[in-house]
């Protein structure tokens, strides 16, 4: 009898020892993209510096460098600008793949990615507003809609869905079109890629199409022609030879004297236009849905505060 009780106490003690161990060994967490994962508590500690050096974030920094470089070439060197800008946009797909591959999805990376996208697109559209002054108000509206839509959507997601909710986690009950846009990676890539392709095509047309830029038909002034023939001083620096100065003496002639064929820019612009237009519709839907979601939260918060109070009848 005493032996049986001893064995029972031993088994209960072993069970008690094992139970906390199993609960402490792993816990279910959610990544910023909304994926449920089991993370072990017995992991190495990470610091803020470690987060900044994650592979997806390093790719994000390279996107910023390429985007700034494209802005440097944007006024007078369309080929270099287009190449650098396109690489920066294509890396947008690579950082998401790296985040999933190395389990390095972070809030900082998600915000860095969105801010880089918004700033790059806004910078390109700003140039288009100066290249096509008559359509400046249209480009200004597109910039405002893009920024307002994404800011409202991000803020509504954090305020209403919680700090652990990704802006890409959109339930079908809230919006089917946003659910398809954010949850289907192929749809998201096609829309983002062709949206940027439209503005890049329009950018190239500002340097190649006399139909859109009648100034291309003007002759080069004699003073400018003399500077072009004289050329710039040769710089022996290897860096200068690789990254030529877009403001050199010959850059204006190369960029503005109709040296670029407009056929392919027209094809890119026309083909991508329907997707760009649909992207603006999605921005409007996103803005409206986010506004309604925030308003629903306001109604609930006011109800908890006892507002609005009923007016007392005289």
Domain boundaries, the chain: 48-216+242-294
- What pLDDT does 313 receive? 62
What is d(CA 89, CA 270) in angstroms, rounded to the nearest whole number? 20
Reported pTM: 0.77
Length of the chain: 314
165 or 12, which is more confident? 165
What average pLDDT does range 91-107 have in this prediction?
Answer: 92
CB atoms within 10 A of CB 211: 11
Instruction: Tell me what percent of the residues of the chain surpass a pLDDT of 70.
Output: 71
What is d(CA 134, CA 140) in angstroms, rounded to the nearest whole number? 12
Query: What residues contact residue 74 under an 8 Å CB cut-off, 6+ apart?
Result: 81, 123, 124, 127, 203
174-191 tens-digit pLDDT: 999 999 999 999 999 999
> Is 146 a residue of the active site?
no
Spatial contact of 128 and 206, defined as CB atoms under 8 Å apart: yes
Q: Is 102 helix (H, G, I), strand (E, B) or coil?
A: coil
Catalytic residue among 35, 117, 146, 261: 117
pLDDT at 23 over 60: no
- What pLDDT does 77 receive? 86
Which of 72-86, 198-212, 224-238, 296-310 has the weakest average pLDDT? 224-238
110-128 tens-digit pLDDT: 999 999 999 999 999 999 9
- What topology does CATH give the domain 48-216+242-294? 1.20.120
- What pLDDT does 218 receive? 62
- What pLDDT does 298 receive? 96
What average pLDDT does range 252-277 have in this prediction?
Answer: 81
Spatial contact of 89 and 196, defined as CB atoms under 8 Å apart: yes
- What pLDDT does 75 receive? 87
- What pLDDT does 284 receive? 98
pLDDT at 6 over 60: no
- What pLDDT does 22 receive? 42
- What pLDDT does 10 receive? 54
37-81 tens-digit pLDDT: 544 555 678 899 999 999 999 999 999 999 999 999 998 889 899
């Amino acid at each position: 009898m005493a032996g049986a009780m001893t064995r029972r106490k031993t088994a209960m003690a072993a069970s008690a020892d094992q139970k906390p161990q199993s609960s402490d060994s792993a816990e279910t967490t959610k990544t910023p993209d909304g994926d449920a994962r089991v993370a072990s508590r017995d992991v190495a500690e990470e610091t803020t510096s470690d987060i900044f050096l994650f592979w997806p974030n390093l790719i994000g920094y390279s996107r910023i460098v390429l985007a700034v470089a494209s802005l440097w070439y944007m006024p007078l060197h369309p080929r270099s600008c287009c190449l650098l800008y396109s690489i920066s946009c294509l890396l947008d797909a690579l950082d998401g793949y790296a985040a999933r591959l190395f389990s390095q999805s972070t809030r900082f990376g998600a915000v860095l990615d969105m801010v880089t996208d918004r700033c790059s697109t806004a910078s390109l559209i700003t140039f288009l507003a100066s290249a096509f002054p008559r359509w400046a108000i249209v480009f200004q509206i597109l910039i405002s809609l893009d920024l307002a839509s994404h800011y409202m959507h991000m803020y509504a997601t954090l305020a209403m869905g919680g700090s652990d909710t990704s802006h890409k986690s959109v339930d079908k009950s809230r919006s089917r079109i946003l659910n398809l846009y954010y949850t289907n990676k192929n749809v998201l890539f096609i829309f983002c890629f062709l949206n940027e392709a439209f503005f890049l095509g329009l950018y190239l047309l500002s340097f190649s199409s006399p139909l859109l830029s009648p100034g291309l038909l003007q002759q080069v002034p004699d003073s400018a022609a003399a500077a072009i023939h004289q050329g710039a001083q040769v710089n022996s620096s290897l860096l200068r030879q690789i990254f030529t100065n877009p403001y050199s003496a010959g850059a204006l002639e190369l960029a503005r004297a109709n040296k670029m064929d407009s056929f392919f820019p027209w094809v890119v612009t026309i083909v991508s236009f329907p997707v760009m237009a649909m992207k603006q519709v999605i921005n409007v839907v996103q803005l409206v849905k986010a506004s309604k979601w925030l308003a629903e939260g306001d109604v609930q918060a006011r109800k908890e505060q006892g507002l609005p109070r009923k007016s007392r009848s005289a």
